[in-house]
Amino acid sequence: MTPFIQSKLPNAGTTIFTTMSALAVQYQAVNLGQGFPDFPMNENLIELVSDAMRKGYNQYVHMNGLPLLRERIAEKIHFLYGATVHPDTDITVTPGATYAIYSALTSFVQPGDEVIYFEPAYDSYVPGILLNGGIPVGIKLVHPDYVIDWNEVKKAVNNKTRAIIINTPHNPTGKIINDNDIAELRNLVRDTNIIIISDEVYEHIIFDDEKHLSLLRYPDLAERSFICFSFGKVYHCTGWKMGYVIAPAEMMKEFRKVHQFNCFTSNGAVQYGLAEFMLQREQYTELGKQLQQKRDYFANAMSATKFRALPSSGSYFQLYDYSALSNELENDFAVRLTKEYGVTTIPVSAFYTDATDHQLLRFCFVKKQETLDRAVERLVKL
């Protein structure tokens, strides 16, 4: 007899990304749902990783990450954000940013601790808090501009508040934080014991000459933060599941205790390749401009449809309002779009614990031009 498991996540189903991608395959739809590029990644990086494998770099690397890669990450951070981070103590290479966020939570959340996060939210945050015995405290970004209501945040803070999760550029809205948000965050956490988890996986994917306000720019915030990054988003290789986390030495010590017993170390050959490839700075400094062209190309094509774009300042995504087309709930409409019109998107309600529905769909525009064209050809028929 199969033993019974008392679920630790009784309310969780399969993630919306997996669900919608499977539906896209089933109905041969153009998949603008799950966030991944459909164009090839850089051949040179593939070569560098393949070379590393051929040269025999196929055994475990240091549990905290290949030392050379950590040095290159430290150099990059200094170059971009003027911050000094120590490769030995402040950087750990991880199998992706989702893992980094989860392990960060695991390293400090105690049962009953409250963790503030903003909705709509990337779907791993709440389960990550719950599995560690924490209490997720969701605060809604104010629709339709998706600004943070700092008064709400202040009201939510109490003596059980252990951490706050921020995400900029933001998935799914494409919103970025500004100087005022930084000032509010500083005021909020000053003289407290609150830890910040900053999800910055879209650090380079920022548009219209805006600047990414990494918490690494602010020593008083960085000194209490786990800042999480993803190589997948930078180098168009989301399937490699590689990332890293930056934190002050004392906090990182606890992170590494969790990490060493969870996966111990990340893919070694990939780290050799990445360390070499990171010397090519233009690969990431140009990324925002390149993807801005895609955002604009897609938005321009979409203007021939009845969908109405909300602004996107960064990330892989743009939200579109479909209220001129249907009164259906987002999930129903998204499923029907896939089945009847052959275009897959993500309902934004999936990013809320209470399924808040504003008749918005998230489109991933980081796709080949022909893919975007094919999608719009179908959407103009609505």
Q: How many whole angstroms separate alpha carbon 312 and alpha carbon 123?
A: 19
96 makes contact with ligand PMP (CB under 6 A): yes
Q: In which region does residue 315 sit, left (phi positive, over 0), alpha (psi from -120 to 50) or beta (all else)? A: left
Q: Name residue 169's amino acid.
A: P
Q: Rg for the chain (alpha carbons), in Å?
A: 21
Considering only residues 190 to 229 of the shown chain, the ones binding ligand PMP according to CB under 6 A are 199, 201
What's the farthest any 2 CA atoms get from each other in the chain? 60
- Give the residue at shortest CB distance from ligand PMP: 96
Q: From the list ligand GLN, ligand PMP, none, which binds 34 (C-beta under 5 to 8 Å, kind-based)?
A: ligand GLN
Question: In terms of CB distance, is 153 or 360 closer to ligand GLN?
Answer: 360
Question: In terms of CB distance, is 34 or 267 closer to ligand GLN?
Answer: 34
Q: Count other Cβ atoms within 10 Å, centred on residue 210.
A: 13
Interacting residue with ligand PMP among 171, 173, 214, 267 (CB under 6 A): 171
Q: From the list ligand GLN, ligand PMP, none, which binds 169 (C-beta under 5 to 8 Å, kind-based)?
A: none
161, with CB counted inside 10 A (0-12, 13-18, 19+), is buried
- Could you give the count of Cα atoms lying within 13 Å of 379 in the half-sphere of its Cβ? 30
Considering only residues 159 to 198 of the shown chain, the ones binding ligand GLN according to CB under 6 A are 171
106 makes contact with ligand GLN (CB under 6 A): no
19 makes contact with ligand PMP (CB under 6 A): no
Least distance (Å) between residue 261 CB and ligand GLN: 23
Over the window 4 to 43, marking each residue x when it contacts ligand GLN by CB under 6 A and - when it does not, the resulting string is: -----------x-x----------------xx--------
Considering only residues 304 to 363 of the shown chain, the ones binding ligand PMP according to CB under 6 A are none
Cβ atoms of residues 318 and 299 within 8 Å: yes
# chain residues binding ligand GLN, by CB under 6 A: 5
Q: Would you give the end-to-end CA distance of the chain in angstroms?
A: 51
Q: How many whole angstroms separate alpha carbon 65 and alpha carbon 72?
A: 11
CB-based contacts of 156, cutoff 8 Å, min separation 6: 114, 116, 137, 139
Q: Can you give the binding site for ligand GLN, defined by CB under 6 A?
A: 15, 17, 34-35, 171
Q: Can you give the binding site for ligand PMP, defined by CB under 6 A?
A: 35, 96-98, 122, 167, 171, 199, 201, 230, 232, 238, 241, 243
